Amino acid sequence: MATAGVAEKNEPTRPLAIPSPSVHPAASDEEEYAAAAASNAKRWRKTQYLRRRRCALWCGGCCVTSVVVVGIVVLALALTVFKVKDPELTMNRVTLEGVDGDLGTGRHPVSVNATLNADISIKNPNVASFRFDRSETDFYYTGETVGVAYAPDGEVGADRTVRMNVTLDLLADRISPNVNITDLIFGQDYNLTSYTAISGRVNVLGIYKRDLNIKMNCTITLEVSSFVSTVQSKNTACVGSVS
């Protein structure tokens, strides 16, 4: 018994049992895959959002830039190429044809008959055609109307010039009182005045439209003698206006 007690004393002391810490089970492969998929989806959505945002900003910037460029181009064209310019009306020359001076009555010792031919040109400096209506030219001598000539309507192409001839018979009863036989024999300068009015429109691509009224006043010097049948103007001075 004593031996047994000694043996129990010499036996090493056993440690007390300590409870092991709680251990969580490791995540399964499916849960890891789901978490990774959710992270990738979130990152993809963010990438797509940033991409759409960049595209929207880029498209908006391009649209604004295009509008600005087009506006600048249109403004430049409107101030240069497409700007409606004033057509030019010119009285090139006036010709008297078939001049006939005869002895008249006691009231009008001299009777003068003649056909007046006026050469008028219209220059259109615009990039679009100029359409004009029927025009009228009045001729005056000593303040009295001696004839009215009409020209048909027409069109002048872009950067073109059109010439028109208007012809009328002078009113002899308006001229004869101011003419004597000496003037017809030895020659005399006669001053005629004219007034021409033309209305029309310039239409540039259907965008720029302008109605134009062209007016021209001319002073024409003619030397008439009974020894010739045709007399041309010696001098022509005109002043025009466009409104």
pLDDT tens series, the chain, 243 aa: 555 555 555 555 555 555 555 555 545 566 676 777 677 777 777 777 778 878 888 888 888 888 888 888 877 776 776 788 889 999 888 887 766 655 444 454 445 567 888 899 999 998 889 999 998 889 898 888 888 888 889 999 989 999 988 888 776 556 655 555 555 555 677 788 999 999 999 988 777 788 999 999 999 887 766 555 567 777 888 888 888
Instruction: Show me where the domains of the chain are located.
Output: 33-80, 88-242
Closest by CA position to 96, among listed 236, 229, 237: 229
The answer for residues whose C-beta is within 8 angstroms of residue 2's C-beta and 6 or more apart is none
Class of CATH domain 88-242: mainly beta
The two structure tokens encoding residue 4: 């047994």
Where residue 109 falls (left for φ over 0; alpha for ψ -120 to 50; beta otherwise) is: alpha
pTM of the model: 0.63
